[in-house]
Structure 1
């Protein structure tokens, strides 16, 4: 699987050139975004004064939430009680691992910065292919959020 930035606002998730979904930001310097998986459209909206909590809704119903903690980890929580944690890893904290509640690694997002387009593409590695495409797109959103928060490019 891989995520390609088609323009500075849209990230497309593909697997062997099959398009699985995409993530589109409202504007270049915004945390507001839309994720599309099949016919489902999910709205991603920051909450609060510091935008550390993010709501994911589908037809005005919250289907997930994300929150960054003081360690810089981002927790992705679903109403059914399932939670996942995105952590920066690597020598320079330049890769992102998504773990479940038990600390089992589900996938690794390896960003590749494209200097010509000034954007990131991601290669996604995993032991078992993720079935939840929304979770993959939310992990991508969380990695972008982490990069923006650590570089202070978006506020």
Structure 2
């Protein structure tokens, strides 16, 4: 849905610039903030579906029995990074609560909250991956492919 909104904003900016000979400053700013949210929420989805970028070279070079340990170590590094983003991103967002975006006029706490919210959701998904497993459920993928 966020990608559809960003696309509509981009089209609005292009139409405004070439049809009406005027650009809408707020569309570019709002697109930037929505893309930050899109990236952070998309990262959570990638962890859920095990489609995120990974260092697969490490997994393929070890014994298949130890590949789960390597993947767990990689998820641990990602979790540590998410903790840092959460710990430093939350106060940063709160410090910018009174600031307002120059073109769109939205409070800057909304773009800044993308980092701690996304990091917290990624931590939850990483924890679920440790409990349930690191690969997506194959039966779900098989059912989706048959539809």
What is the TM-score of this pair, normalised by structure 1?
0.29
Flag the structure with larger Rg.
Answer: 2
Q: Which structure carries more helix by proportion?
A: 2
Q: Which structure carries more strand by proportion?
A: 1
What is the TM-score of this pair, normalised by structure 2?
0.30
